[in-house]
Structure 1
Amino acid sequence: MLSRRTLTATAALLGALAISGCAREQAPAVDYVLLDGQKLSSAGWNGKVMVVNFWATSCATCVKEMPQIVATHEKYKSRGLDTVAVAMSYDPPAFVSKFAETRKLPFGVAIDNTGAVASAFGQVQMTPTTFLINKRGEIVKRYVGEPDFAALHQLIEQLLAQA
């Protein structure tokens, strides 16, 4: 039989773990420019579920997963999902522009010329790296490599259902 003291200590520990598990990191405040010259800011993400995908045209996995990123965007955009694909600073802008045009990417594509956006998101260096951000601007999940898209869709469904 557990003593009252042990039960109290266990309850306190579980409470602390639950609280720390609920605290999520805020997405960084970033400014970026889309291929069409439009200047945007992460402040515009408020109230939306966001997919922020760091990629490069030279990354085979990025190129392979892009049709699934597009399909995810198309499936959920009418319900409040938005997507931005952030090309890494080393990716030649002409390559990025040509890729976006030939693939008819239906979401914003930004070129992180200075690396500031990748830096703000925790020194992103590996591609693809994808962040899922909730309506409150909190990072819910970070995927390094290609996500499990079925699991990603389940998580997006949950986030879209939240107030």
Structure 2
Amino acid sequence: MKLDIKGLAIIALVAGVLAFFLLMPNQGLKSIPANLSVATLEGASLPLDSLKGKPYLLTFWSTSCPGCVKEIPALQALHQQHQNDGFRIIGVAMSYDEMPAIQAMRTQKGMEYTIAYDQTGALAQQFDVRVTPTSFLIAPDGKIAMQRLGEWDHAELEKKILELLKG
């Protein structure tokens, strides 16, 4: 049986277009909606409005995501380097993760930055998170300074953090 090259090309084109639209980041969200909170692993509610005045990184991740796990050491290093400047990192574990796996990963990887659990998936839905990692660098005024689908170029991220810290 011969392969129909035209048919395969059309299928590949359709699959590519679908993937583009499914994975394309949402450009509609320009700032953090008011009155949003994250639930930390310790059970506290952290209102995102309370973080205004300093930049922070909101990163949606999963214990089953290789890219997420790979970037944990770099995020931990950024946390250690800039926490005294007022910069915060909030790692939001996805709803399909389970609490024991999240806690084990936190311990295993030495994650000292804030970890939240989006147990219902409402926060991920609010930010239109479709894949992990998806991250938002938030400026001191609450506007989204950078959005990244996938892993960060950490030199670029640190440069932007320093710019935001200087004002």
Q: TM-score range by the shorter chain?
A: 0.7 to 0.9
What secondary structure, in the 3-state scheme, does the structure 1 residue paired with 2:97 have? coil
Name 1:96's counterpart in structure 2.
Answer: 102
**Aligned AA for 1:71?**
A
Q: Matches of 2:70 and 2:153 in 1, distance apart?
A: 13
Residues 100-133 of structure 1: per-residue CA shift (max 9 Å, x gap)? 1222211111110111111111x10210011100
Whole-angstrom CA distance in 2 between matches of 1:102 and 1:146: 20
Unaligned runs of 5+ in 2: 1-28
Show the counterpart of 1:124. Answer: 129
For 1:51 and 1:26, the matched residues in 2 are separated by 13
| Matches of 2:125 and 2:54, distance apart in 1 | 23
| Partner SS for 1:117 | helix
- Residue 60 of structure 2 is aligned to residue 43 of structure 1: no
**Deviation of 1:28 (Å):** 2.3
The CA distance in 1 between the partners of 2:33 and 2:68, in whole Å, is: 23
**Residues 26-62 of structure 1: CA deviation (Å, up to 9, x unaligned):** 1123212111111111111111111111000000010
Task: Indicate if the aligned counterparts of 2:79 and 2:89 stay in contact, CA closer than 8 A.
Answer: yes
Aligned to 1:84: 90
TM-score, structure 2 length as denominator?
0.79
Structure 1 runs not aligned, ≥5 long: 1-23
Does residue 158 of structure 2 align to residue 153 of structure 1?
Answer: yes
> Does structure 1 conserve the Cα–Cα contact (< 8 Å) formed by 2:54 and 2:140?
yes
Q: Distance in 2 between matches of 1:96 and 1:158?
A: 32
CA RMSD, Structure 1 to Structure 2 (Å): 1.2
Indicate the percent of aligned positions where both proteins have the same amino acid: 36
Distance in 2, Cα, partners of 1:134 & 1:77: 15
- Which residue pairs with 2:143 in the alignment? 138
The residue correspondences of 1:56-95 to structure 2 (distance < 5 A) are 56-95=62-101
1:27 pairs with 2:32: yes
Deviation string, structure 1 residues 116-152 (Cα, Å, up to 9, x no partner): 111111x102100111001000001001111100011
Please, what TM-score do these two structures have when normalized by structure 1?
A: 0.81
Q: What's the CA shift for 1:97? A: 1.1
Q: 2:117 aligns with which of 111, 123, 130?
A: 111
Contact 2:72/2:109, CA 8 A, preserved across alignment: no
